[in-house]
């Protein structure tokens, strides 16, 4: 089939990638062979015109690095489908790292990484983040763990110990009450999901604080899923920043949110 490498080329590539199959290293070497084969197949599947127009070599110059054709595909993914992690892509292009899986970037609000690595303290975060984090599960836990209750009381007159946790909130009621006020308050629940890394969008839910969700296997389903997820990111972030701007313009606007929050507590 024209969409597949010829049998001869495939065997040549197999011989190059698996120079000495020993029992202990056989599985590892097979895995190393699988990735370039998958990358070349995906190149033909997703970018057929680029594939047929390419004159780049199918073969790497040495083991454990990408071939020029593989790098073409990886950069096409980055440019045409969704962005890859900048650092990992740079290392791959300089042949310092082999991308055996898809490196997903963190496109959301990665406040957890900033706080956990002491890049900044709570009072250095943007004001909207300072105000909204206590309403999220992850943010509330982080604030209490950092011993920030007194700081919130002094600066924002918020007692973290008395603030209803998100698990106590009736989210349907919260949305209904927010709808009364209109935009941008209607975006509140979605914004909290972004800050809680809980949007079901892998590009928004990944934090550098944990590497667990960063890597995806190279396969057609994941490429399509991530491409669709990337299309959803801009409108979501636009709504996030609309609420942020509203709070930044007048910090007292947060009192409306607190009132809605307290009125949305589940009645047990």
Q: What does the pLDDT profile of the chain (268 residues) look like in tens digits?
A: 444 444 345 434 444 444 444 444 444 444 555 789 999 999 999 999 999 999 999 999 888 899 999 999 999 999 999 999 999 999 999 999 999 999 999 999 989 888 887 668 899 999 999 999 999 999 999 999 999 999 999 999 999 999 999 999 999 999 999 999 999 999 999 999 999 999 999 999 988 776 555 899 999 999 999 999 999 999 999 999 999 999 999 999 999 999 999 999 998 7
Rounded (5°) CA angle 133-241-198: 50
Looking at the DSSP assignment, which residues form a beta bridge with residue 210? Answer: 207
222 burial class (0-12, 13-18, 19+ CB within 10 angstroms)?
middle
**Radius of gyration of the chain from its Cα atoms, rounded to whole angstroms:** 24
Model-level pTM?
0.84
Q: What is the C-alpha to C-alpha distance for residues 236 and 173, in angstroms, rounded to an integer?
A: 21
């Amino acid at each position: 089939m024209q969409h597949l490498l010829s049998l001869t080329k495939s065997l040549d590539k197999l011989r190059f990638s698996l120079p000495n199959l020993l029992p202990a290293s056989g599985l590892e070497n097979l895995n190393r062979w699988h990735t370039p084969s998958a990358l070349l197949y995906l190149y033909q599947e997703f970018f057929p015109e680029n594939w047929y127009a390419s004159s780049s070599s199918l073969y790497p110059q040495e083991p454990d690095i990408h071939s020029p054709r593989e790098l073409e595909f990886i950069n096409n993914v980055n440019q045409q489908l969704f962005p890859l992690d900048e650092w990992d892509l740079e290392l791959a292009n300089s042949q310092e790292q082999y991308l055996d899986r898809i490196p997903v970037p963190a496109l959301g609000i990665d406040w957890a990484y900033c706080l956990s690595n002491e890049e900044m303290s709570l009072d250095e975060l943007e004001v909207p983040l300072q105000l909204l984090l206590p309403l999220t599960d992850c943010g509330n836990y982080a604030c209490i763990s950092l011993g920030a209750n007194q700081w919130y009381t002094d600066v924002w007159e918020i007692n973290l110990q008395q603030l209803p946790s998100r698990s106590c909130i009736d989210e349907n009621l919260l949305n209904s009450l927010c709808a009364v006020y209109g935009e941008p308050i209607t975006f509140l629940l979605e914004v909290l999901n972004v800050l809680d890394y809980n949007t079901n969008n892998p590009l928004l839910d990944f934090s550098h604080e944990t590497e667990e969700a960063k890597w995806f296997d190279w396969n057609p389903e994941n490429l399509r899923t991530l491409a669709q997820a990337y299309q959803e990111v801009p409108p979501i972030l636009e709504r996030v920043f609309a609420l942020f701007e509203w709070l930044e313009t007048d910090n007292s606007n947060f009192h409306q949110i607190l009132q809605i929050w307290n009125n949305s507590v589940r009645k047990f």
